[in-house]
Structure 1
């Protein structure tokens, strides 16, 4: 089964590039099967990781960034392949 984890954060004003660099630098051990980092206007950063694991597996996730780097708490979602 494939499980996808989504991690989304909104940067504090003027700190979008810093949040993006922070997210890219965060290691995940073990490494996921696939990892993508995306951005959107307003300093939003989205990191998606794909794992070959059961839905409820204990998988490594990106941590919360330092409070001054983000405008709100990180949002997290977990999905499984529907096919």
Structure 2
């Protein structure tokens, strides 16, 4: 079974670039080499939001804790099961 783990955070005012850099420089390297990781993508959205989506075979691991000073609110996390692909 393939799982998608979504991690979404809204940066504190003016800290979007720092949050994006933290995901690329800390969160992604921490996940690399974790058994079952198939791929990872980082996206940004208006409102200084950063999204990390990882795809897993088996159990999905989570990104490390984000420094609180980079965040406007707590991180949101969801795990989805793949049901259909075209």
TM-score (norm 1): 0.88
Which residue of the partner structure matches residue 73 of structure 1? 74
1:29-82 deviation line (CA, Å, top 9, x unaligned): 4162010000001110000000111xxx3x321123111110000000000111
Q: How many residues align?
A: 79
Mapped partners of 2:11, 2:65: distance in 1: 12
Give every structure 1 segment of 4 or more consecutive aligned residues whose post-TM-superposition deviation is greater than 6 Å. Answer: none
The structure where helix makes up a greater share of residues is 2
Structure 1: gaps spanning 5 or more residues: none
Query: For the residues of structure 1 that align with 2:65 and 2:75, how far apart are their CA atoms?
Result: 6
CA RMSD of aligned residues (A): 1.2
